[in-house]
Structure 1
Amino acid sequence: MSTRTDAPTRREQILREAARLFAERGFHGVGVDEIGAAVGISGPGLYRHFAGKDAMLAELLVGISERLLDGGRLRVSESAGNPPALLASLIDGHIDFALDDRPLITLHDRELDRLRDSDRKLVRQLQRKYAELWVAAVRELHPRVAEAEARAAVHAVFGLLNSTPHLGSYGDGLPGRAATETLLRRLAHGAFAALGEQEQPAE
């Protein structure tokens, strides 16, 4: 979502408004008519695009997991052979997601269990692959860090970056997106730098 520069399609408009409303009121607190009204079409008109709310939720959660993985793979390709640049690029990409798609973080936390088993398993599989891109990048930069420790650090940083739904508009006392982005970037880099400081010198 955050990487598009052209006008969104009607389908994308529906998904964006569905994500916002689901995040604000919960999946069961929103009706099809309300989603339709938010994009200027009748509730029944939504069924030309989606089979129902369950299908919207699945596309939102599977879709963002696919986009994160695809974006991560692209960043790996673009920064091959430059571990610091790769990790910095992964951090920047996830910060963009965390700031621009905050409703999807809330949806994942609250509504993932509402997906049918096959969709939920697919989301988990995509997320594991995305996380492993980060683990490989961290270990390339800090080769003496154990794999399990690198993986724990990656998930801790995900938790940090994915805290954006709890920051209010842009966090107490922060003037806007740029300041929030700068803070998150500094904290993420600091976490991985601290991990590197724990490396034991070669014998």
Structure 2
Amino acid sequence: MSTTGCASGQSDRAVPTGTIGGRVRITQRGQAKESRRQALLAAAAGLFAESGFNRVSLEDLGAAAGVSGPAVYRHFPGKQAVLGELLLSVSRDLLDGGRDVVLGSPGAPEALRRLVAFHVDFALRNPDVIRVQDRDFSNLTEADQAEVRALQRSYVEVWVDVLARLFPQVEASDLRVRAHAAFGLINSTPHSVRHHGRRMAVKSARPILEHMAMAALTVPAD
């Protein structure tokens, strides 16, 4: 599904070599490769957010992750693939996490509250990724753009399904507007949090964001 992989065309993810107690066993070499791959993605998030995709080179990425520029090709076929995997992996994590939140909630009211807390936590922990999504989405390949959009639409529907249980009289299209409004409110805050005392800003922003998002999501229908 994603465009990641090493230059030889073989996947550079950790390779299972057997099972222990029913669990997949990963080689130390595979674990080290996956750690370097994740370090490259983390470095990419910070560099792309700070300078923009077009101003960051593979050498910059490698240096930030502690490897040489050419070594990046052992994990990704190019800079565009790094961007693709960064945004695809985040979109998958949001969708999977949102679904898990709903499955683990005793009812729609609690599911909505937990979804809001989940998304606020994501936004406050990943301000760089949000900035990259906003600014550099157009630099993805067409295939990655389509996949990211599909994952994000599915994530929206997780919220809409919960809202529909709370407000069965409201049209689904209106519930989507509420969900998108809540995302916009939550996702905008990390832009300002970067420029203040981060620890205190995050601590104070969390309850405000959760309260405001719940208000936007649960506004009475006309």
Bin of the TM-score, shorter chain as denominator length = 0.7 to 0.9
Residues in 2 aligned to 1:170 and 1:14: alpha-carbon distance in whole angstroms = 24
Look up the equivalent residue of 2:122 and give its one-letter code: F
Instruction: Please state which structure has a larger fraction of its residues in strand.
Output: 2
Residues in 2 aligned to 1:170 and 1:114: alpha-carbon distance in whole angstroms = 26
Q: Does 1:143 align with 2:151?
A: no
Look up the equivalent residue of 1:121 and give its one-letter code: A
Q: Does 1:179 align with 2:165?
A: no
Please report the TM-score for the alignment, with normalisation by the length of structure 2.
Answer: 0.80
Look up the equivalent residue of 1:145 and give its one-letter code: V
**CA deviation after TM superposition for structure 1 residue 166, in Å:** 2.3
Aligned length: 190
Q: Does 1:198 align with 2:215?
A: no
**CA deviation after TM superposition for structure 1 residue 169, in Å:** 2.7
Structure 1: stretches of 5+ with no match in the other structure = 1-6
Structure 2: stretches of 5+ with no match in the other structure = 1-31
Aligned pairs for 1:1-203 (under 5 A) are 9-79=35-105, 81-169=106-194, 175-194=200-219, 197-198=220-221
Look up the equivalent residue of 1:198 and give its one-letter code: A
Residues in 1 aligned to 2:128 and 2:154: alpha-carbon distance in whole angstroms = 22
**CA deviation after TM superposition for structure 1 residue 187, in Å:** 0.6
Q: Percent identity?
A: 42
1:71-114 per-position Cα deviation (integer Å, ceiling 9, x unaligned)? 111111111x5111100111111111111111111111111111
- CA 1:173 to 1:46, structure 2 compared with 1: closer, same or farther past 3 Å? closer
Which aligned segments of 4 or more residues in structure 1 are displaced greater than 6 angstroms? Answer: none
- CA 1:173 to 1:12, structure 2 compared with 1: closer, same or farther past 3 Å? closer
Look up the equivalent residue of 1:75 and give its one-letter code: V
Please report the TM-score for the alignment, with normalisation by the length of structure 1.
Answer: 0.87
Pairwise CA RMSD: 2.0
